[in-house]
Amino acid sequence: MSNSIQAHLKTEVSATFIINALLNGGIAWALLHGKSMLTLRGEEGIAVDLVITAFLLCLLLSWITIALQRRKLSSGQFPDVPAGRFNGLRQIIRYLPDRAFGAALCIGLAGTLIYAAPTIALLGLFGIEQLSVTHYLIFKTLWTGLIAALTCPLAVLFPAFKSTATATPAPLAGETGN
């Protein structure tokens, strides 16, 4: 097994996609299997579900992943991250709180804005005001897997970048190093 950061991220992202797609699809089926149609708006609508799902998924995924990756980092099982790699994620992580839950909370809030808001807007823009439960289950299964896969690298790399960022912050673009 390769110990490169690319192989590590590929494994983590793939597992995260599969686990979260199946888990969230299963939860959605358990909650919705007795209904026939869902509306976009309303108290029990698709929009509310997407907002809650995006927040909780990003929060829990990040909190758990950060804790697991910190253990790997402290035990020497985390691959080295070459200098200059993942600078965009490094800069985002630089501004997150040091504690796992604080960072996960920020990622959860950002995930809600980045994933749920545009999805709801696009559904409305395309005139999708209701979906059958079957279509929504397929959509939500794929959507949650995708969100998990997109959020995963940030949470995986958090411990590697934050441990060095607290000692000597990485310079922002345009700044000179120490």
Confidence of residue 33 (pLDDT cuts 50, 70, 90): confident
Instruction: Answer yes or no: is pLDDT of 177 > 60.
Output: no
* CA-closest candidate to residue 41, choices 112, 123, 144: 123
Is the CB of residue 55 less than 8 Å from the CB of residue 111? yes
Range of the domain at 154: 5-79+86-163
Q: Classify residue 172: in a domain, yes or no.
A: no
Q: Which of 22-31, 70-79, 113-122, 139-148 has the lowest mean pLDDT?
A: 70-79
Q: Give the model confidence (pLDDT) of 36-64 as tens digits.
A: 999 999 888 999 999 999 999 999 999 99
Q: Classify residue 117: in a domain, yes or no.
A: yes
Give the integer Cα–Cα distance in Å for 21 and 24. Answer: 5
Q: Classify residue 118: in a domain, yes or no.
A: yes
Q: Classify residue 102: in a domain, yes or no.
A: yes
Q: Classify residue 13: in a domain, yes or no.
A: yes
* CA-closest candidate to residue 156, choices 2, 26, 10: 10
Q: Classify residue 168: in a domain, yes or no.
A: no
Give how many domains the chain has, as a whole number.
1
Average pLDDT of the residues of the chain: 90
pLDDT at 173: 54
Q: Classify residue 45: in a domain, yes or no.
A: yes
pTM of the model: 0.85
Q: Give the model confidence (pLDDT) of 86-115 as tens digits.
A: 999 999 999 999 999 999 999 999 999 999
Q: Give the 3-state secondary structure of residue 37.
A: strand
Give the integer Cα–Cα distance in Å for 61 and 76. Answer: 22
